[in-house]
Amino acid sequence: MEAILLVGGKGSRLRPVTEHTPKPMVPTAGVPFLAHQLTRARAAGVDHVVLATSYLAEVFEPYFGDGASLGLRITYVHETEPLGTGGAIRNAARALTCDPGEPVLIFNGDILTGLDIAALVASHRAAGADVSLHLTRVEDPSAFGLVPTDADGRVLAFTEKPEHPDEIVTDQVNAGCYVFRRAVIDTIPDGRPVSVERETFPGLLASGAHLHGVVDETYWMDLGRPAALVQASADLVRGIVPSPAVPGPAGEYLVLPGAEVAAGAKLSGGTVVGAGARIAADAVVDGSIVLDGARIDQGAQVNASFIGAGAVIGSRTVLDSAVIGDRAEVGADNELVGGARVWCGSVIPDAAIRFSPNC
Ligand code: GTP
């Protein structure tokens, strides 16, 4: 079975995490996030993956190569100008080899889910659908694409990010994983930006195509924002959502080879510590991502935060839901909470900050 993975987005909501690293390559539980998706796709019977790249496209192939180490064949299709989600699918389909009637899996490159992929494909075949969509239920659907269905799972409408409360007719939302009959992909316009959510799906529905929704409420997380990215990494480390790509057994923390954790430091909540990172005595790191070569000094307290590669967190500094860019230096006795973001390479002196969203 073949799959297209959409990995070309700019990931602007995640900045500065995505300043130098595309979202699907951000280390999550010790490996680029994409590694989790690729191994899960492989386990579901996918043998050929087409990566639709655009933003920072050059970093994917040196890491994953031809895919053989994952038991996959990986083909890279680059967009010189971003084509949007639908345009990227159409463009990447050039590299598919299956027959027009065969199903093709499409994944957004920023979704972590325990979805039974094989069951989605089976349901697609049984329904005889043109396109099937994984749907999940969320408490506040307003930030998502709403997809109401009838009792048989037939899609009735698409409402992308509803602005008016009257438009919220369901809690079922587009979860970013689809099965397309190969020939349907060829109906997407070629060579121009197209949004699959705003143009392709509503257009197919209006033309009478059979769109089938499969509600699956297993683990699902959209890693578009920092808090979700950090949470997903912690959930992977703790085995709440299993992934064969996590480089270690499930547990309260994961320390990669070459990291130094002093006696008396406390790691918990699914924290991952990257190679060459150093955690000093009495530091407390809970539910966080600490990338390679970062340093957390004595007595610092880090909770639900992202610490970029080579960043330094000074003694006694408190971070809560903070994002610290690569090589940034936060001096001693600072307090950054509530989603504070520190840009790559910036320097914050000792005791200079008590909460700032953008430093
Ligand atoms: P934001 O800028 O924070 O909205 O993130 P994003 O750029 O990743 O956009 P979004 O989360 O809506 O994208 C959903 C998926 O589609 C992600 O996996 C993106 O990598 C991918 N994607 C979005 N736009 C493009 C595009 O123009 N080309 C390709 N190849 N992929 C895209």
Predicted local distance difference test score (pLDDT) of residue 162: 83
Which of 108, 134, 341 should be mutated for ligand 1, with most atoms under 8 A from CB? 108
Domain presence at residue 109: yes
Q: Identify whether residues 306 and 222 lie together within a single domain.
A: no
List, chain by chain if needed, residues with CB within 6 Å of any ligand 1 atom.
6-13, 23, 52-54, 79, 82-85, 88, 108-110, 224
Q: Identify whether residues 23 and 154 lie together within a single domain.
A: yes
Q: Distance between CA atoms of 80 and 98, rounded to whole angstroms?
A: 25
Q: Distance between CA atoms of 48 and 118, rounded to whole angstroms?
A: 15
Domain presence at residue 241: no
Predicted local distance difference test score (pLDDT) of residue 357: 63
Predicted local distance difference test score (pLDDT) of residue 164: 85
Q: Identify whether residues 162 and 29 lie together within a single domain.
A: yes
DSSP-derived letter for residue 44 is T
Predicted local distance difference test score (pLDDT) of residue 218: 94
Q: Identify whether residues 204 and 55 lie together within a single domain.
A: yes
Q: Distance between CA atoms of 359 and 352, rounded to whole angstroms?
A: 11
CA of 22 to the centre of ligand 1 (A): 10
CATH number, domain with residue 348: 2.160.10.10
Contact 204, 131 (CB under 8 A): yes
Ligand 1 nearest atom to the CA of residue 82, by list position: 27
Q: What are the helix (H) ranges across the chain? A: 33-43, 60-64, 84-92, 117-127, 182-185, 201-206, 226-237
CA of 68 to the centre of ligand 1 (A): 26
Q: Identify whether residues 276 and 212 lie together within a single domain.
A: no
Domain presence at residue 38: yes
Predicted local distance difference test score (pLDDT) of residue 346: 96
Beta bridge partners of 273: 255, 290
Predicted local distance difference test score (pLDDT) of residue 110: 95
Mark the ranges of the chain whose per-residue pLDDT is less than 50.
Answer: none
Beta bridge partners of 51: 5, 76
* Ligand 1 atom 26, closest CA: 84
CA of 3 to the centre of ligand 1 (A): 17
Domain presence at residue 239: no
Domain presence at residue 202: yes
Burial class of residue 167 (count of CB atoms within 10 Å of its CB; 0-12, 13-18, 19+)? middle
Q: Identify whether residues 301 and 193 lie together within a single domain.
A: no
Parent domain of 13? 2-226
CATH number, domain with residue 209: 3.90.550.10
CA of 85 to the centre of ligand 1 (A): 7
- Closest to 133 (Cα-Cα) out of 109, 103, 162: 103
As for how many domains the chain has, the answer is 2
Q: Distance between CA atoms of 343 and 13, rounded to whole angstroms?
A: 13
Q: Distance between CA atoms of 340 and 184, rounded to whole angstroms?
A: 44
Q: Identify whether residues 190 and 269 lie together within a single domain.
A: no
Ligand 1 nearest atom to the CA of residue 193, by list position: 27
Q: Identify whether residues 149 and 102 lie together within a single domain.
A: yes
CA of 335 to the centre of ligand 1 (A): 32
Domain presence at residue 237: no
* Ligand 1 atom 18, closest CA: 109
Ligand 1 nearest atom to the CA of residue 84, by list position: 27
Q: Identify whether residues 39 and 86 lie together within a single domain.
A: yes
CA of 206 to the centre of ligand 1 (A): 25
* Ligand 1 atom 1, closest CA: 11
Q: Distance between CA atoms of 25 and 29, rounded to whole angstroms?
A: 12
Domain presence at residue 256: yes
